[in-house]
């Protein structure tokens, strides 16, 4: 017979984790987020915070796992910008730890976010014929051309 106890305990743990995180009590936040995660109740933003807290208390594997899952959850919810942020953070972290293959893989994911996700309403479909704004520096950034020139496809 299934009860609501695990879910209720998980919800209480989320509240305690968020409170501990707000107070910069990283160890307590990490413990509480782990409890809530065991109940399967963490939203993507909570997974990001779990990743931060775990990293700050030296639980690198848990941090990497939580940030990876946050990325996937943001993608599943259609929040490509937040997903790209997770991917970039994870890529940089892995590179700094010497894991070049996985780090560059995550950075590659981060840069694949369409420009229209980073700069809503500025994609080519929103440009009018003869619009030369895309030729100005700020236009190139809005169109995502800056990203493409800085990190060309291999």
pLDDT digit string, tens, across residues 20-60: 999 999 999 999 999 999 888 899 999 999 999 999 999 99
Q: Do 122 and 109 belong to one domain?
A: no
Tell me the residue range of the domain where 125 lies: 117-154
Please state, in angstroms and rounded to a whole number, the distance separating the CA atoms of residues 1 and 25.
36
Q: Do 109 and 125 belong to one domain?
A: no
The residue assigned the tokens 């994609």 is 123
From 88, 113, 125, 118, select the one nearest 103 (Cα to Cα).
88
Number of domains in the chain: 2
Give the pLDDT band of residue 7 (cuts 50, 70, 90). low
CATH number of the structural domain spanning residue 27 = 1.25.40.10
Give the pLDDT band of residue 150 (cuts 50, 70, 90). very low
Phi, psi (deg, nearest 5) at residue 72? -65, -40
Please state, in angstroms and rounded to a whole number, the distance separating the CA atoms of residues 29 and 53.
6
Global pTM reads 0.69
């Amino acid at each position: 017979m299934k009860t609501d106890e695990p879910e209720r305990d998980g919800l209480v743990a989320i509240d305690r984790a968020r409170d501990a995180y707000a107070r910069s009590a990283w160890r307590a936040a990490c413990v509480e987020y782990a409890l809530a995660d065991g109940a399967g109740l963490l939203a993507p933003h909570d997974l990001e915070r779990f990743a931060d807290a775990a990293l700050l208390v030296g639980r690198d594997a848990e941090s990497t796992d939580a940030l990876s899952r946050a990325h996937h959850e943001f993608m599943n919810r259609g929040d490509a910008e937040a997903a790209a942020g997770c991917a970039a953070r994870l890529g940089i972290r892995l590179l700094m730890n010497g894991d070049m293959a996985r780090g560059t893989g995550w950075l590659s994911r981060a840069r694949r976010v369409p420009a229209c996700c980073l700069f809503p309403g500025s994609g080519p479909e929103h440009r009018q014929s003869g619009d030369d704004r895309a030729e100005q520096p700020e236009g190139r950034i809005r169109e995502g051309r800056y990203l493409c020139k800085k990190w060309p496809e291999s």
